[in-house]
Structure 1
Amino acid sequence: MVRAPDLSGLDRPERVRALKAALATLDGGASPVTAADLRSASVPGTTPGGRHRSLPAAGKTGAAGVTAHSVVPVPGVLADCLPGGGLPRRAITAAADCPAFIIELLAAATGGGSHVAVVGWPELLLTGVAEAGGDLDSIVVVPDPGDRPFAVTGMLVEGMDMVVHRSAENVQINATQARPLLARVRRGTAALLVVGARFPAPAVRIGADVTAYHGVGAGSGRIRGFDVSLEIATKGTPPREVLLRVGRNPGTDDVPVGALRVPRIPDLRVVRTG
C-alpha cells in the first residue's frame, strides 16, 4: 500500500503541497501538476467555446446529521437532489463519463473553495473550469498514475476535498478489491468520484448526457450553452431526473437563441468550438 504523508495539523493548502511532494517520489513518478499549469494545453475539449458562468454552487444543510461540512459543493440544481446538498465526503459517487458534466462539478467545487484532484484523465480540458467560474490553482492533476492508479487515489482522498478518478476502460471492481480504497476514503476528507470503474454499492450514482446545444439555429450561430440531462440515485431513494443548463440559455440573450437537440448517443463528448 502507498502510504500518505503525515497530514495531521496541516491546513488544506499545506496538505495539498505535502501530497504532491509524496506523489512525485512514487516509483514510476505520478508526476502531479496544478491545473493552472495546463492553461495552454492543446487537447480535446470538454466545453463549448465562449465564457459562461455555472449555476450557483450549493452545500446546504440537508438530511438529519448531514451539513455543508460533510459534502462538497455542486451546481444548485444537482444539490437539490442530494442529501446535504452536495457530494458526500468519505463516500464513493459513481458518475457517467460525460466530460462537460465533470467540468461543471470541478468548477462548482473549486469555486466554493474546495481542493480537488483529477487522476487518470489527461485529455480532460481543465481550462473549461476557469471559464465556468472555478479555480485552476485548486486542482491537482495526475495524468498518468502508473500501474497502481487506485493507490495514488487512495493517497489523495486522505487530504483533498474531492478526487475524480477515471479508468480508461469500464473496469469492474469487486468488494475485495474495493475494500482497501474504501477504508482510506472513510478515514480521509474527500468525496471520491469514480468514472469508468464500477464499484459495488456507491453512495450516489449520477448519469449524465448532453441533450441540447443553445445558440445554433438554421445552420448558423455560435454555441453559447448546453443542457445536460442528469439522473441521480442515492441509497434508499428512487432515481430523480433533472436538467442542468450551462452557459447562456434561451431567455438570457438579447435575440432568440435556437436549441439544437441531439440524440442520446453513447460516449457523446462536448468539444471546444472556439
Structure 2
Amino acid sequence: MTVLRREQAEAVLARAGVAVQPVELVTVLPALRTLLGGLRRGQVVAVDAAGVLPLALLAGATAAGSWSAVVGLSQFGVLAASDLGADLDRVVLVEDPGDQWAEVVAVLLTSVELVLVQPPVQVGGQLARRLVALARRHGSALVCVGDWEGAQTRLRIASSLWVGAGQGDGHLRGRRVKVEASGRGSGARPRSAWLWLPGPDGTVSGADLEALEAG
C-alpha cells in the first residue's frame, strides 16, 4: 500500500481528470490566515485560554457573514468583540448554560457555523466524539477555550507584551503577542506568527518585524 500526502493525492487525481473540491472553511481574520487558513468545518480548534484570541476567531467568522454562538464564556467581552470586527447581530450568546452545556452546544452545532465554547470540564471520550460527529454532519466549526481531547488544532499565546505605558505613566495602546499553532494530521506542522492582539486601533494585524517596519 502506498501512502500519499494530500498534495500528492490531489496531483494524482488531477492527472486522472478528477477535480478535487476544496475544503470549505469558516473565514478567519486576514492576520490569522498564516496560522489557520480558515476554520475547518467539522473539526475542533482548542485555544489555551479565554481572551482576545478566541474573540478574534469569532470576529472573522461573523464579519464574513457566518452565524456563530458563544457558550459558557461568563466574561465574554461584547465591546472587545465588536472592536475586533465581530458582527454581534450574528452572535447567539448563552452565558451560563449550567450542567446542560453539552446539550446546548449540540443544538447550536445543528444551526450555526461556528460554536465558541468554554466547557466547565476537560472534554474527552464519548462526549467529545459525539459533538465532533455533530459538527461534521452539519458543517460547523467548534472552538473550545481550554483543553479538548483529540483537537485537530491547538492555539496558544507563547509570548505577550503590552505597549504604550511609560515609567508609571501613559496608556496601554496595544498588545504584541506570539501565537503558536500545532495539531495533527494536515495541521501537524508547528506554525507561529507575531500579531497585534489587539493593536493600537483595536484591530488584529500582523506584528512581525517586517510589518512593524512598514508601519
TM-score interval (norm. to shorter)? 0.7 to 0.9
User: Kindly, what percent of the aligned residue pairs are identical?
Assistant: 32
**Aligned partners of 1:252, 1:130: CA distance in 2, in Å?**
26
Matches within 5 A, 1:73-222: 73-82=27-36, 85-168=37-120, 171-196=121-146, 198-209=147-158, 211-222=160-171
User: CA 1:147–1:210 in 2, change beyond 3 Å: closer, same or farther?
Assistant: same
What are structure 1's unaligned runs of at least 5 residues?
1-62, 254-274
- 1:121-167 superposed Cα distances (whole Å, 9 cap, x missing partner): 12121221111222111111001113221111011111211100102
CA, structure 1 residues 133+179, in 2 after alignment: closer, same or farther (shift >3 Å)?
Answer: closer
C-alpha distance in 2, partners of 1:217/1:252? 24
| Superposed counterparts of 1:225-240, under 5 Å | 225-236=174-185, 237-240=188-191
Q: Is the 8 A contact 2:124 2:150 kept in 1?
A: no
**Total equivalences in the alignment:** 186
Residue pair 1:101, 1:228 contacting (<8 A) in 2 also = no
Amino acid at match of 2:141: A
What CA RMSD, in Å, does the superposition of the two structures yield over aligned residues? 2.4
Question: How big is each residue's C-alpha offset from its partner over 1:22-44, in whole Å with a ceiling of 9 and x where there is no partner?
Answer: xxxxxxxxxxxxxxxxxxxxxxx
In the alignment, structure 2 segments of 5+ residues that lack a partner are 1-6, 11-19, 201-206
Residues 66 and 195 (structure 1 numbering): CA distance in 2 closer, same or farther, change over 3 Å? farther
What is the one-letter code of the residue matched to 1:75?
L
Q: Which residue of 1 aligns with 2:195?
A: 244
- Would you tell me which structure has more helix in proportion to its own residues? 2
Secondary structure of the equivalent of 2:28?
A: strand
TM-score by length of 2: 0.76
Q: 1:86 Cα deviation (Å)?
A: 0.6
**TM-score, normalising length: structure 1:** 0.61
